[in-house]
Amino acid sequence: MVAPAAIERGPTERLQFLDAVRGFALLLMIVNHTGRWWQDAAMGWPRYNLIYVSMALGAPLFLFLVGFCLPLSFARRRPTTGLPGVAAKFLQRGARLVLASWLLNFVVFHDDPFWEGGVLQTIGLGIILALPPMLLLHRRGARTLLVALALGAYALFSVSYAQVTAWLPAHPVLGRIFLFEFAPWPWVSLVWIGLALGWTWAREDTPGGRARYPTIMSAVGVLFLAVFVAWDWAHGTPPHLSLAFKRDFIVNNHWISRGVTNFLCLSSVFGLLGLKLDSWWWYALANVLLTIVLVYLGRLWLEIRSMAARRLQTA
């Protein structure tokens, strides 16, 4: 969390605030993975919906922030290193993340090939694929065009879903590289949308404009959430099925948001970017809640260690 007294205007404030949002996205992913892998309990609807919500809110937020933060770094580095230096830095950062994803697979997931896709690989490719459009975003209409291309890439995936799933069995290696966990197509589309919006914010040269931007995004987030709720209400979707993986795309046993679910995902992204703790009371309450969550995660970890030790003794 960023304390209100530490908030200052300008690029530094935005980076501090976005670091806090990234931290929240990481907490959601921790909840998601602990809910799936560490809980030794039956898979009831409450646990199932918790896993879905933490995935649908945390993963898109994390990928969106990849694109949203790049223009801030670009603006800070370009005056000192020039365009070639910026390009080299971004390409190196993306390549390192791809290599890190392979190393993580090699060290942790021994039963799977190290080269299969994962979220780190998608983030790395997202940074690399964000560089060419970022060099053109200063041109008139380029941001609108980039958002249109991002939406078009997602729409193309949607209409090609049946062909993609039919293609996978005959191409298992390529499928595990490019269409596995958080597949670059279509998830890079979210990085591009974040890139276009982040560029607009990074180039805002008035304090009032910088303050209004997250407020507008929050309002759009509320509107998107209303669209999601209204859609399910109009179609009579049961509450426990509103948050279910079967309503979305499943590729290689991994989730990709589909249709109206995108409004739920973007509502959380836009809403959280507009949320600032300008009151010490809200800041204190947020930290109390965070502490409680961390304490219970620590207790859960101790229970897991104890359970693992007992199993080893009886093995």
Report which of 28, 5, 7 is spatially closest to residue 18, judged by C-alpha positions: 7
pLDDT at 48: 76
What is the arithmetic mean of pLDDT over 295-299? 72
pLDDT at 34: 73
Do 129 and 19 lie in one domain? The reply is yes
Do 205 and 255 lie in one domain? The reply is yes
pLDDT tens, position by position, 50-69? 788 888 888 888 889 889 88
**In the predicted model, what is the mean pLDDT of the chain?**
80
Give me the percent of the chain exceeding a pLDDT of 90: 21
Do 184 and 309 lie in one domain? The reply is no
Do 23 and 113 lie in one domain? The reply is yes
Do 271 and 286 lie in one domain? The reply is no
pTM over 0.85: no
Do 306 and 269 lie in one domain? The reply is no
Count structural domains, the chain: 2
Domain interval for residue 90: 4-278
Do 80 and 220 lie in one domain? The reply is yes
pLDDT tens, position by position, 58-103? 888 888 988 988 887 776 665 555 667 778 888 888 889 889 888 8
